[in-house]
Amino acid sequence: MSNSWGKWSLLLVIMLLVTLGTTGCVSQIKEAVQNASESVSLKTTTIDYLNQIVEATRTPSSQVNDWAYASFNSHLTSVESTPKECSYTMEINEIADQSNLLGDNISVEDESVKNIVEPKFKAYLGSYKALREANNKLADYCNRETYKDDNGAQVSSLTEDTKSKMTDFIAKDNDLNSTVKEIQRNTDLGIDEDSTDPHDVITLASDVLTNDVEDAHVAYSNWVIAKADDKNPDISTVKSTKDKLKADIKKYKEKADSVKAKEAESVGSYYESYISVVDNFDVEYEKFARDAESGALTTEKANELLEEDQTGIIGSAIYRAYGDVIDAHNDIVNAIERYH
């Protein structure tokens, strides 16, 4: 099971502090403030940079997610088994120009983050381009009926090349995704935990709870993969992530209710939808954890879950609930940014 992009953005909190010396004339102070302002205006905050990377990869990655990967491979295997027919209609769209996120076209406040992310983003873009070219070459060979000129002699090499390029892209996708997530987790949102502003509380709640859901989803994936392989996976991580999610849901629901978060201007309705899908994930995860601990979730059933998540159109209940949380979280991010 490849860990499909649980792509989510962080809320953008910008703070500008300009410290000046106590000596010097007014004109020097004005010039210093102007220069500092111009310098900052040219730099993208770390959070905004990561959000732009997430957004840039959302559409390309969604075309080759877990389900699409299995669907592509199934279609490719079918083509390979009937080379003299060569019917192939799978399409991969061209990626939008992302040069604005590369090199000197963007300056990030924390250049160390850019230095880590940009090489992986470049590798991602290059791998996607290579996949699209391989896929289109096969599609062109079939659609133009060129296979009739050589009795489908090129089908095997073209399908294998496309499969190889797809496997490489998914690896690059996962590498970039995990890197961005790790940096996001370690990025300070700049919000006081004791804030009574409803927008702040919504920001904190969605950040903490989405992290909890992410951890639970990883624990679920790891446990199911191990169980499907007829191993005896440790249940402790599943239990600890379940307990933490429940505790944080209770904590942040109480904080949100105390500041009437559901009534927050421009964002309240998004929070209400978000907490609803988090509750749904909690229900599904609790059912999974119970069956995993009791032994009701057998190796056979684990393989069924694995198959469902990899090849099903909508995936298992937890897989769907996880995706709903990520989407709802990103809706909050966008709503908060519009509000500010």
pTM of the model: 0.69
What is the enclosing helix (H) or strand (E) of 108? Answer: strand 107-108
Q: C-alpha angle 266/321/241, rounded to 5°? A: 100
Angle between helices 268-294 and 317-339 (to 10 degrees): 160
* Whether 4 contacts 310, CB under 8 Å: no
Digitized pLDDT (tens) for each residue of the chain, 340 residues in all:
334 344 444 443 322 222 223 333 333 333 433 443 343 346 788 888 988 898 899 888 877 765 566 677 778 888 888 888 888 888 888 989 999 999 999 999 999 999 999 999 999 999 999 999 999 999 999 999 999 999 999 999 999 999 899 889 989 998 998 899 889 888 777 888 899 999 999 999 999 999 999 999 999 999 999 999 999 999 999 999 999 999 999 999 999 999 999 999 999 999 999 999 999 999 999 999 999 999 999 999 999 888 777 666 567 899 889 989 988 998 898 888 788 7
Q: What are phi and psi of 118, to 5 degrees?
A: -60, -45
> Is 192-340 assigned to CATH 1.10.10?
no
What 3-state class would DSSP assign to 232?
coil
For 231, the token pair is 């191993």
Residue with tokens 């090499």: 157
Kindly list the distances between the CA atom of residue 158 and the CA atoms of 76, 107, 131, 154, 217, in Å, as whole numbers in the listed order. Answer: 9, 40, 11, 6, 35
CA distance 281 to 218: 13
Q: What are phi and psi of 107, to 5 degrees?
A: -115, 125
Per DSSP, which regions of the chain are E strands?
Answer: 43-44, 107-108
For 289, the token pair is 């954890």
